[in-house]
Amino acid sequence: MNPSATVRGVHAEAPSADRKPGARAWIVTGLLVAFMMVNFADKSVLGLAAEEIRSDMGLSATEFGLANSAFFLLFSVAAAAVGVLADRVPPKWLLLTMALLWSVAQTPAALGGGLAVLIGSRVLLGAAEGPAFPVAQQAALSWFPNHRRNLPGALVTLGVTLGVITAAPGLTWVIHHHGWRAALWVVAAVGAVWALLWAVLGADGPYRTDAAEAPRAGSRPATDAGAAARPPYRRVFATRTWVGTTTAYFTSYWAVALMLIWLPSHLRDGLGHSASASGVLVAVPWAIGALALLGQAAVTGWLMRRGVGSRWARGRVGAVLLLLAASACLTVPLFDGVGAKTALLVAGFGLGGSFATVAVTTVAELAPPVRRGGALGAMNAAVTTAGLIAPAVVGHMVDTQGAAGYQSAVVISGALLLAGGVAAWTLIDPARDADALRLSTRAPEHLST
């Protein structure tokens, strides 16, 4: 059966919001989980090979941090541009193009060359990966109505964690036995295999269009004008929910960036763990984040099924995660033992990096379907500037403060997570702001009559 024909047929039927998603929805979701696994395996290579790359190229911590920051040079721009494009071009083809570009981007540094080649390949990879998360989420959520989106959104986000957890031991072995350039060949090959599978099995879902956004039985029906609302992007970006979600997600992504780039070195050089122990410990915060993601999805879904508004079910559940993370990070300096510091570090970063599903499902609820891709892409563009800033800042701290610089970085992260938690708690209310967007879009029509 032709996938595109199937999707066109489903669009024509405008599916019921109470109908359970079929097998095709979960097959596509599974492929998108694998997509995010490849995405973050790509990102994690340089962090896992930090000591080898610095030794091979004679880099200081600042230079290594700047090389990793280069990955995010075009990351945010591409996320915003492709996010808007995703409102016009089927996500299936955008995702396929991205996956192919990932594999191509790995090859220059894998073939050889110095720092300039490494930076150039990371800039290209960052441009190709920038839109990955918002477009993957948009593609997954297009198969589910609003009240069923928490689990698939969490699973796609979980791909981030699974990518690091599964890649860390395998890529570490490749790096130690065959060199860090061989690890680049491995992730390039895996990306190419995923692209082939997606070309055959990938498809866009029935809830991608306005007509398919049918309300649940018993919920307030949307008006025709509301269903077809096309508010300017600037109105979406000016809502308290978009601002609060983006602010909170920025602080969460700061933690993610540091886990990817500096956590292995922090465990080895800052806390004195052996290389083998660090290889195990580096996966722990990602595992904690995975449990937090699944727990958040379960709690949020349970609350929403019982009629609790998304202000609490999404915004404040997410805020609690960030506030707990901030507490763990900010108390690290109060303990002297390596064990206690390590436990607080992995708990703080694990919980701190688990806000992504809250962010995506919140903005997906806020923005009408015709503005969803742009709203998600712009959020991701703003948020991922944390990846541009954080590695370079921590590299400078390590060069100037030595091992103490790692602890300073944890305290700064804790302060940011505290600010993010407060923003999520006080600003996020997608149902309220979605109604305001619909009313603002209809206002000129009513005034003219």
How high is the pLDDT of residue 75? 84
**Helix, strand or coil, per DSSP, at residue 339:** helix
Give the burial string for 132-158 (b: 16+ CB within 10 Å, else e).
bbbbbbbbbbbbbbbbbbbbbbbbbbb
- Between CA 194 and CA 189 the distance in angstroms is 9
Q: Which of 134-148, 231-245, 312-326 has the lowest mean pLDDT?
A: 134-148
HSE-up of residue 145 (Cα within 13 Å, Cβ side): 20
In the block, residue with structure tokens 């700064």:
412
Specify whether the CB–CB gap between 361 and 144 falls below 8 A.
Answer: no
Specify whether the CB–CB gap between 258 and 349 falls below 8 A.
Answer: yes
Counted residue by residue, the chain has a size of: 449
Higher confidence at residue 5 or residue 234? 234
**Tokens standing for 443?**
């206002």
Higher confidence at residue 344 or residue 138? 344
In tens, the pLDDT along 345-365 reads 999 999 999 998 899 899 989
How high is the pLDDT of residue 449? 37
Indicate if the pLDDT at residue 443 is higher than 80.
no
HSE-up of residue 265 (Cα within 13 Å, Cβ side): 29
Indicate if the pLDDT at residue 208 is higher than 90.
no
- Give the DSSP H/E element, type plus range, for residue 60: none
**Helix, strand or coil, per DSSP, at residue 273:** coil
- Between CA 169 and CA 48 the distance in angstroms is 9
- Between CA 300 and CA 157 the distance in angstroms is 15
In tens, the pLDDT along 138-190 reads 899 888 887 788 888 888 988 887 887 888 778 888 988 899 899 999 999 99
- Between CA 96 and CA 204 the distance in angstroms is 12
Specify whether the CB–CB gap between 73 and 124 falls below 8 A.
Answer: no
**Tokens standing for 279?**
């290889």
**Tokens standing for 38?**
């490849």
Indicate if the pLDDT at residue 309 is higher than 50.
yes
In degrees, rounded to 5, the angle at the alpha carbon of residue 279 between the alpha carbons of residues 259 and 387 is 15
In tens, the pLDDT along 396-413 reads 999 999 999 999 999 999
Cα separations (Å) of 13 from 9, 19, 88, 138? 7, 12, 21, 20
- The arithmetic mean of pLDDT across residues 371-377, rounded, is 86
Confidence band for 274, pLDDT divided at 50, 70 and 90 = confident
Cα separations (Å) of 347 from 41, 210, 254, 354? 21, 40, 15, 11
User: Beta-carbon neighbour count of residue 227 at 10 Å?
Assistant: 17
Higher confidence at residue 322 or residue 203? 322
- The arithmetic mean of pLDDT across residues 230-236, rounded, is 91
Question: What percent of the chain lies above the pLDDT cut of 90?
Answer: 45
Indicate if the pLDDT at residue 217 is higher than 50.
no
Higher confidence at residue 192 or residue 449? 192
Specify whether the CB–CB gap between 309 and 184 falls below 8 A.
Answer: no
Give this prediction's pTM.
Answer: 0.74
Cα separations (Å) of 446 from 18, 225, 381, 413, 439? 32, 11, 35, 48, 10
Domains of the chain and CATH, by start: 23-205+231-443 (1.20.1250.20)
- Between CA 346 and CA 332 the distance in angstroms is 11
Q: Which of 139-153, 189-203, 249-263 has the lowest mean pLDDT?
A: 139-153
Indicate if the pLDDT at residue 9 is higher than 70.
no
In tens, the pLDDT along 66-94 reads 888 888 888 888 888 887 788 788 889 99
How high is the pLDDT of residue 4? 40
How far from the centroid of its chain's Cα atoms is residue 373's Cα?
A: 14
Confidence band for 442, pLDDT divided at 50, 70 and 90 = low
- Residue 166: partners with Cβ closer than 8 Å, 6 or more residues away: 37, 41
